[in-house]
Amino acid sequence: MFVIDKKTIQIFPGEKLFIEAELANDSLVNLKVVPEIINKEKTLTIVFMQENENKLHKQMRLSITNPFSKQLEYNAQINLMKYKKWTKTSVMPALPGLESYEIWPDIITTAVLYNFHLKN
């Protein structure tokens, strides 16, 4: 896991991150990884997993828990093992106070999440 320029997260399969964020207007800034949730009203939980069935790859799953009272939107790029290159991917917003899921059939070696912002 890496926090890049305090607005971008790089996550690898098998990681579960607690990301504390500050708000600047409706943008999430000064992102930092914390070992546990202390400020639940401003801490995202992000989990990136590879799911297997009988030791064979099934899918990749990303979940984000949104602690805010507004919809959380963000952008994502994924690095596909098959092509060894970065690809922009579409993601669904996380509704207020809920968890959102993204699922991909391909093997992803890492993902970058950025441009976190809130919308009414």
pLDDT band at 83 (very low <50, low <70, confident <90, very high): confident
pLDDT of residue 84: 82
| Nearest residue to 28 (alpha-carbon basis) of 119, 120, 96, 116 | 116
pLDDT at residue 107 above 90? yes
Helix (H, G, I), strand (E, B) or coil at 41: helix
- Assigned architecture for domain 2-119: Sandwich (2.60)
**Counting every residue, how long is the chain?**
120
Write the pLDDT tens digit of every residue in 45-59. Answer: 999 999 999 999 999
pLDDT tens by residue, 16-35: 999 999 999 999 999 999 99
Which backbone phi and psi does 41 adopt, to 5 degrees?
A: -75, -10
Taking CA atoms, 88 is separated from 30, 55, 63, in Å, by: 23, 28, 17
User: Is the pLDDT at 3 greater than 70, yes or no?
Assistant: yes
